[in-house]
């Protein structure tokens, strides 16, 4: 039993050391974005992505809107750049909020608690226990996004991504808690930028394959997505233990 406990402790220390590297948490949140994208983002943001692809298809002057055109349109680079902008700004703001405590003895505990909170929210997402209540601000943001979603212009698509980047969800809260735990503007921004990039592949696949692929994607990859979120939660928890010892 002692050997098992020692092995678990050594594994935890190794994970904490990795997560404490400059890019460790960023990689962790990228994995969270990949897993959460398949389990959550496809359902929440998928309709907006599909709507943009349909606008492109209807406005296309090409007689045959084939699969290559559909795949290129599904990339929606301005839209994802808008989401990246919002997430990076939110992460930088979260890091700045805790940076004022970075030189104090309380920072280790503040950072550790935030990371544990983030890990708990990732676990909740992995086990399908994410918050399902729709906050009032979600309806406001959806109305704001309406005019942008109907336009094929790149600037409108970018604006749509910026607005929808503020949509509240448990997965986003978990990532922000981890970003706040960094206690630095650039680390928080990098962490959330990585999280945003992790959500892109699923949304591109949804835009290309539509609602049918969205349903099949979620069913076929649910266990992989859950595993990625569990790994991410373990890394964040291990990082939290190193912060408590500061």
pLDDT in tens, 71-88: 555 678 999 999 999 999
Alpha helix positions (H), the chain = 2-19, 24-36, 42-44, 46-59, 67-75, 77-99, 107-126, 136-149, 154-164, 170-180, 185-244
Cα of first residue to Cα of last residue in the chain, in angstroms, is 28
Instruction: Determine the pLDDT at residue 9.
Output: 46
Q: What is the DSSP letter of 21?
A: S
Q: Which residues contact 94 (CB under 8 A, 6 or more apart)?
A: 176, 177, 179, 180, 188, 192
pLDDT digits (tens, 9 = 90+) for 19-33: 556 577 888 889 888
Instruction: Determine the pLDDT at residue 176.
Output: 94
pLDDT at 208 over 50: yes
Report which of 50, 27, 45 is spatially closest to residue 211, judged by C-alpha positions.
50
Q: Are 79 and 157 in contact (CB under 8 A)?
A: yes
Instruction: Determine the pLDDT at residue 236.
Output: 84
Q: What is the DSSP letter of 134?
A: -
pLDDT at 92 over 90: yes
Instruction: Determine the pLDDT at residue 65.
Output: 47
pLDDT digits (tens, 9 = 90+) for 113-139: 998 999 898 888 878 765 555 667 778
Q: Are 37 and 198 in contact (CB under 8 A)?
A: yes
pLDDT digits (tens, 9 = 90+) for 169-190: 888 999 999 999 888 999 999 9
Instruction: Determine the pLDDT at residue 68.
Output: 47
């Amino acid at each position: 039993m002692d050997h098992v406990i020692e092995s678990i402790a050594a594994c935890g220390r190794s994970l904490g050391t990795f997560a404490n590297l400059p890019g460790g948490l960023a990689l962790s949140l990228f994995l969270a974005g990949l897993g959460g994208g398949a389990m959550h983002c496809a359902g929440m943001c998928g309709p907006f992505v599909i709507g943009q692809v349909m606008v492109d298809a209807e406005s296309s002057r090409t007689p045959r809107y084939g699969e290559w055109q559909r795949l290129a349109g599904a990339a929606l680079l301005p839209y994802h750049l808008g989401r990246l902008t919002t997430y990076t700004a939110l992460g930088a703001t979260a890091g700045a909020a805790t940076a004022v405590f970075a030189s104090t003895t309380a920072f280790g505990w503040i950072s550790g608690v935030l990371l544990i909170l983030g890990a708990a929210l990732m676990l909740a997402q992995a086990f399908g226990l994410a918050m399902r209540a729709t906050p009032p601000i979600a309806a406001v943001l959806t109305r704001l996004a309406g005019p942008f979603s109907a336009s094929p212009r790149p600037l409108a698509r970018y604006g749509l991504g910026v607005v929808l980047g503020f949509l509240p969800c448990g997965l986003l809260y978990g990532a922000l808690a981890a970003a706040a735990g960094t206690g630095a503007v650039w680390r928080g921004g990098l962490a959330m930028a990585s999280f945003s990039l992790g959500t892109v592949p699923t949304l591109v696949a949804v835009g290309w394959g539509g609602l049918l692929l969205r349903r099949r994607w979620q069913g076929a990859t649910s266990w992989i997505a859950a595993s990625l979120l569990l790994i991410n939660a373990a890394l964040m928890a291990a990082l939290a233990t190193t912060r408590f010892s500061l």
